[in-house]
């Protein structure tokens, strides 16, 4: 019994030593090697975000930049503005709008001036204003009878792309949220959007939140 404990203890100490050595190696690299590498701003941001595993919205912003190549963008239902922050830091002229004044007030001071309190039913933007309009986790909170009007309003203000991320009834715990008053299947939403005359393109396999993302290309 004593021998077994000694072996376990020795293995534990050996494993802990490997962890310590790994951390020392990383520290040496960060001090002496990493600074010598030359980065463009966007390359540094992408590397930084991927390593630190920051907000999913920041990763989404990186993907949106590469996939849609927008000059400007609007995030409808932006919350505290994480996606807007990411887009701006990737060189995109992004704005956000949300019904919650509290959410806007809790946004980063860096981008707060780019966010405003507003109503999704009355989007005060010119037609074809943005290359990309994103609306995430919003339509499931909107009564079904007005959902088509909302999608039309969003479609009007984009000149290229509209991305809808909608919570589906098949998602885990979707029905546990009492504010989810408009839960349907992906097929249901697809038919709804197609009836409006809009074209949904196939989402790439690595597209963020692919299961509940609807990518609409204007004029397709």
Cα gap 202→60, rounded to integer Å: 17
pLDDT band at 212 (very low <50, low <70, confident <90, very high): very high
pLDDT in tens, 97-141: 999 999 999 999 999 999 999 999 999 999 999 999 999 999 999
Backbone angles phi, psi at 130, to 5 degrees: -120, 145
Note if the pTM is more than 0.85.
Answer: no
The dihedral through the CA atoms of 114, 116, 119, 125 has a sign that is negative
pLDDT > 60? residue 84: yes
Helix axes 41-52, 56-68, angle to 10 degrees: 140
Cα gap 138→163, rounded to integer Å: 12
pLDDT > 50? residue 176: yes
For 120-129, 158-167, 177-186, 191-200, which range has the lowest pLDDT when averaged over its residues?
A: 177-186
pLDDT > 60? residue 57: yes
DSSP state of 143: -
Instruction: Domain 41-217: give its CATH code.
Output: 3.40.50.150
* Intra-chain end-to-end CA distance of the chain, in Å: 73
Question: Domain residues of the chain, as ranges?
Answer: 2-36, 41-217
DSSP state of 30: I
Average confidence (pLDDT) over 38-58: 49
């Amino acid at each position: 019994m004593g021998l077994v404990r000694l072996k376990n203890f020795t293995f534990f100490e050996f494993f802990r030593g490997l962890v310590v050595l790994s951390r020392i190696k990383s520290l040496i690299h960060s001090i002496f090697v990493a600074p010598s590498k030359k980065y463009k701003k966007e390359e540094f941001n992408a590397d930084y975000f991927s390593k630190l595993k920051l907000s999913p919205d920041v990763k989404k912003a990186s993907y949106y930049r590469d996939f849609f190549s927008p000059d400007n963008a609007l995030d409808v239902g932006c919350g505290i503005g994480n996606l807007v922050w990411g887009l701006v830091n990737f060189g995109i002229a992004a704005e956000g709008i949300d019904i919650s004044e509290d959410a806007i007030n809790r946004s980063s001071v860096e981008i707060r001036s780019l966010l405003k309190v507003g109503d999704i039913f009355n989007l005060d933007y010119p037609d074809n204003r943005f290359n990309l309009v994103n609306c995430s986790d919003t339509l499931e909170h909107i009564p079904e009878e007005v959902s088509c009007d909302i999608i039309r309003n969003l479609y009007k203000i984009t000149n290229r792309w509209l991305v809808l991320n909608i919570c589906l009834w098949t998602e885990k715990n979707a029905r546990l949220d009492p504010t989810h008053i408009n839960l349907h299947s992906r097929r249901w939403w697809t038919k709804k959007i197609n009836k409006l005359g809009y074209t949904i393109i196939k989402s790439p396999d690595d597209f963020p939140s692919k299961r509940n993302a609807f990518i609409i290309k204007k004029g397709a």
